[in-house]
Amino acid sequence: MYELIDAHCHVGLTGSSETTLMALKLGRESGISEFITSSAKFEDWENAEKLHIQYPGIEYTVGIHPWFIPENYRSIIELLSDFTDRGAVGIGEIGLDKAKGDIPFSLQTEVFIIQLQIAIAKNMPVVIHCVKAYNELIEILKNTGVPEAGGFVHGFSSSRQIAGNLIDLGISISAGKTLLKPAGEKTADAMRLAWPEHLLIETDSPYADPTDEKNIHYPCEITDTLKILSSILKTDLHTTAQQTTVNSKRIFRLNT
């Protein structure tokens, strides 16, 4: 059996406690030792902290997702620094999205940069959501900087060249459910570039597919992604699991 870390999910932040228990049980049976559950909005922060205290194996990050920027974002962001000191392992899910949401891109950019600056000041890794805005993301990372602790773009779906630019800046990439869709050769090639040291694995459960919010997913489905990733990399499941686990532990500074 191998050990896996689900580097990006939202386990426990939605649904009943029975669903959470089921997600954790099935996930552990699939080899997952740590679930990095990411907050998307302020209302999640305290819940994520509680989950971490309640369930062994849940680590959490705090941040404001580009879909969920509230009107009072300035006062909320003022609380971010304190919240990271209460046991979060990173700042996220933060980022840029040109495909979905009603939030103007200029506001997304502003909120992303402020959170990135906090991550740099606190040296916390960042969990980045990026859809159709990779060039803008790279520009911001170049101008604002990257925390020494690094971070990663979750559910990466872009080219080898974009992956290379991110890696040069100290940002890794994470393989998610997008790999399960056909015609992912461009992204597959990016995964090969990031292998071995800059590649993570995740489920983004329970959402997994933002266009399909009714369909609930579980972290145990990470094994589907593990199989595809291993075939892309021409490695065995054990090697892929072990290396992505080492990478997650390094970025999130987990000592388990």
Give residues in contact with Zn ion (CB under 5 A).
Answer: 204
Tell the smallest beta-carbon distance from residue 248 to Zn ion (Å): 15
Nearer to Zn ion among residue 34 and residue 204 (C-beta): 204
Nearer to Zn ion among residue 55 and residue 67 (C-beta): 67
Tell the smallest beta-carbon distance from residue 230 to Zn ion (Å): 23
Tell the smallest beta-carbon distance from residue 203 to Zn ion (Å): 9
How does DSSP assign 198-225, residue by residue? TEEE---TTTSSTT-TTS---GGGHHHH
> Cα–Cα distance between 134 and 21 in angstroms, integer?
36
Query: For tokens 């090697």, what's the residue?
Result: 239
**What residues are paired with 17 via a beta bridge?**
none
Nearer to Zn ion among residue 45 and residue 233 (C-beta): 45
Q: Please list the alpha-helical segments (H only) found in the chain.
A: 17-29, 42-54, 73-84, 105-122, 134-144, 160-169, 185-194, 222-233, 237-252
Amino acid letter for position 8: H
Nearer to Zn ion among residue 10 and residue 52 (C-beta): 10
Nearer to Zn ion among residue 221 and residue 233 (C-beta): 221
Rg (C-alpha) for the chain, rounded Å, is 17
Tell the smallest beta-carbon distance from residue 234 to Zn ion (Å): 28
Residue nearest to Zn ion (CB): 204
Tell the smallest beta-carbon distance from residue 128 to Zn ion (Å): 10
> Cα–Cα distance between 148 and 47 in angstroms, integer?
27
Nearer to Zn ion among residue 66 and residue 147 (C-beta): 66
Tell the smallest beta-carbon distance from residue 43 to Zn ion (Å): 15
The CA-atom distances, in angstroms, between 36 and each of 93, 104, 126, 193, 219 are 11, 28, 12, 24, 11
- Asked whether 160 and 210 are in contact (CB, 8 A), the reply is no
